[in-house]
Copies of this chain bind each other. A is one copy, B any other.
Amino acid sequence: MRIAILTIGDEICIGQIVNTNAAWIAEQCSRIGCAIVAHSTVGDDLPMILTEFDRLGTMSDAVLITGGLGPTHDDRTKTAFVEYFNDSLVLHEHTLQRLKGFFASRNRELTERNRGQALQPSKCEVLDNDTGTAPGMLMISDKPGQVGVFFVSMPGVPYEMKHLMERHVLPRLKALSKDSSITLHKTLLTTSIPESTLADMIGEPDVFLSSDSATNTLAFLPSSSGVRLRVSVKAENRYTAESEVERIETYLRSRVQRFIYGQEGETLAQSVAKKLIEQNATIAVAESCTGGMLGAALTEVRGSSAYFMGGMQVYSNQAKQDLLSVQLSTLTEHGAVSAECASELAQNVRQKLGTTYGISITGIAGPDGGTEAKPVGLVYISVATPQETRTHKFIFGVDRQVNRERAVATAFSLLLKVLM
């Protein structure tokens, strides 16, 4: 089943917000074996939207659309449905009742503007939305070249879109794609090896990828935490696809097993979490320039209370002294951004929270605060274990946020090495 994703909205088009919806939709559809053929984003512009309906509807089996469903004049998706499918708006009584209930429960009056959200194209199936005011729409095209293609419209607010996808869209796509060819992906995560060396170790892809029963590809995806290897298999049925994925995975592991630390959509945080739980170990963090990002990432994982005890955001020098007893002499002689300070922070936070591991990050994120001796991008990361404390020095780049993100990713890599 081929999926095209259409995002409608000036705010996405001009870059005011990042299009997380398209990624989420693509990921969910990929998981159930659909092939994503394209993403497209256009502004709140009726002719552009209609052109995209035509183009995407002709290259896919379902066009999943988000955005442009709000109650204000700049929302055009409903108009586009009416115009493209030669339809007209009619009052959808069930939606009107739902809207009345929605506003009553919030002690707000149902305005004329919101009442308009109960008007729906007559030929479409209205998809109930329990999380907001705009329902979704499902229209099955009867246009030449796209007969039977699904057009699904959902609100742009991420949690409303997710609700509609999970409740209405994914179950239907799953049922529909049962008898058609499916595409499966599996990603193996490697660390500490450059992309080109990895490629050389794995060897010529044509040889081990070739198959009579499936179309297989291998992708190299570099990231700050290491190169990810993605195997994609397209086959006539799930059984064949799954065996091909397994066959290729076995081959890859036979070549580069020692660099693989995890798989699938697993984040570095999840890999670290798994290892900490396996080892029944706990961790505490001391963060200066990252201000809490490492703790935030560690607690993104469900069930993180099993290993994450807590930490300190020791941003100011005073906080480093008061909260984690960094010695005044360390700060005056070496400064807050130094191996000595990082080491004390990691040891002391480990001790203070009584954990197996303590990890600290201190650095100059920028753009201000750099000197010749200590430039912007300089970061010390220290890992304290029951046996020893090791401190590492890095010089990242000039961008504040990138430096902070790289510090967190690097901290996870260091931790992973200790845990492996």
Q: Which of A316-365 contact B (CB under 8 A)?
A: 316, 318-319, 322-323, 352-354, 365
Partner of A199, one of B7, B13, B71, B159: B71
A296 touches B299 (CB 8 A): no
Q: Which residues of B contact A316 (CB under 8 A)?
A: 305, 308-310
B38 touches A41 (CB 8 A): yes
B313 touches A219 (CB 8 A): no
Instruction: Tell whether A211 is near chain B: CB-to-CB under 8 Å.
Output: no
Q: Which of A14-47 contact B (CB under 8 A)?
A: 14-20, 22-30, 36-44
Instruction: Tell whether A114 is near chain B: CB-to-CB under 8 Å.
Output: yes
Q: Which residues of B contact A353 (CB under 8 A)?
A: 318-319, 322-323
Q: Which residues of B contact A295 (CB under 8 A)?
A: 287, 291-292, 313, 315
- Distance, CA A143 to CA B353, complexed state (A): 66
B315 touches A313 (CB 8 A): no
Q: Which residues of B contact A159 (CB under 8 A)?
A: 397, 399, 402
Partner of A23, one of B15, B205, B352: B15
User: Taking the nearest CB of chain B, how far is it from the CB of A71, in angstroms?
Assistant: 5
B73 touches A205 (CB 8 A): yes
Interface 0/1 of A181-217, CB less than 8 Å to B: 0000101000000111101100001000000000001
Instruction: Tell whether A265 is near chain B: CB-to-CB under 8 Å.
Output: yes
A322 touches B400 (CB 8 A): no
Instruction: Tell whether A401 is near chain B: CB-to-CB under 8 Å.
Output: yes
A10 touches B319 (CB 8 A): no
- Distance, CA A26 to CA B14, complexed state (A): 5
- Distance, CA A161 to CA B313, complexed state (A): 32
User: Taking the nearest CB of chain B, how far is it from the CB of A39, in angstroms?
Assistant: 4
Q: Which residues of B contact A43 (CB under 8 A)?
A: 36-37
A113 touches B196 (CB 8 A): yes
A194 touches B15 (CB 8 A): no
Q: Which residues of B contact A397 (CB under 8 A)?
A: 131, 159
User: Taking the nearest CB of chain B, how far is it from the CB of A155, in angstroms?
Assistant: 10
Q: Which residues of B contact A111 (CB under 8 A)?
A: 196-197, 200
B292 touches A291 (CB 8 A): yes
User: Taking the nearest CB of chain B, how far is it from the CB of A271, in angstroms?
Assistant: 16
Instruction: Tell whether A370 is near chain B: CB-to-CB under 8 Å.
Output: no
Q: Which residues of B contact A309 (CB under 8 A)?
A: 315-316, 318-319
Instruction: Tell whether A74 is near chain B: CB-to-CB under 8 Å.
Output: yes
- Distance, CA A302 to CA B399, complexed state (A): 10
Q: Which residues of B contact A196 (CB under 8 A)?
A: 71-72, 111, 113-114
Q: Which residues of B contact A22 (CB under 8 A)?
A: 15, 19, 41
Instruction: Tell whether A304 is near chain B: CB-to-CB under 8 Å.
Output: yes
Q: Which residue of B lies closest to A397 (CB)?
A: B159
B305 touches A292 (CB 8 A): no
A25 touches B36 (CB 8 A): no
Interface 0/1 of A40-68, CB less than 8 Å to B: 11111000100000010000000000000
- Name A residues whose Cβ lies closer than 8 Å to a Cβ of B: 7, 10-20, 22-30, 36-44, 48, 55, 70-74, 108, 111, 113-114, 131, 157-159, 162, 185, 187, 194-197, 199-200, 205, 217-223, 228, 230, 232, 265, 285, 287, 289-296, 298-300, 302-305, 308-316, 318-319, 322-323, 352-354, 365-369, 397, 399-402, 404
18 additional contacts (CB under 8 A) given A73-B199, A292-B313, A313-B313: A7-B39, A12-B23, A13-B38, A14-B30, A15-B25, A15-B27, A38-B41, A44-B219, A72-B199, A73-B205, A74-B220, A108-B194, A113-B196, A131-B397, A291-B295, A291-B308, A296-B404, A299-B365
Q: List 5 A-B contacts (CB under 8 A).
A: A39-B41, A296-B404, A305-B369, A310-B314, A311-B315
